[in-house]
Amino acid sequence: MRDIVLSLPNDLRTLAQQGTRRFGELYEMVHRREASRPNALWQADHAQLDILLLREDGSAGRPWLTAVIDDYSRSIAGYFLSFDPPSSLRTSLAMR
């Protein structure tokens, strides 16, 4: 049994012995932030929708949806729909 435990990678031993919190501190590459109250932290996400809509000139196109999400409540704080690709302008319009 000792040989099996010693052959495990260090990250798995840390997870088993010290828990997920310590494992995350040592081995996760992404720093995760969590909001402690509503509207403390918002996230923006962009997605090109799988639907065709008519543009003003009559041609069909797939629109982009930009959504701003409150991290604490996971509610939609704002959104913007456009045929133009995501940009800081579209994100600010979604926040407006």
Q: DSSP label at 30? A: S
Most distant CA atoms of the chain, gap in Å? 72
Residue 41, classed as helix, strand or coil, is: coil
CB distance 76 to 66 below 8 Å: no
pLDDT digits (tens, 9 = 90+) for 74-89: 999 999 999 999 999 9
Does pTM surpass 0.75? no
Residues of the chain with pLDDT > 70: what percent? 96
Q: Which sequence spans correspond to the domains of the chain?
A: 1-32, 42-95
pLDDT digits (tens, 9 = 90+) for 33-59: 778 899 999 999 999 999 999 999 999
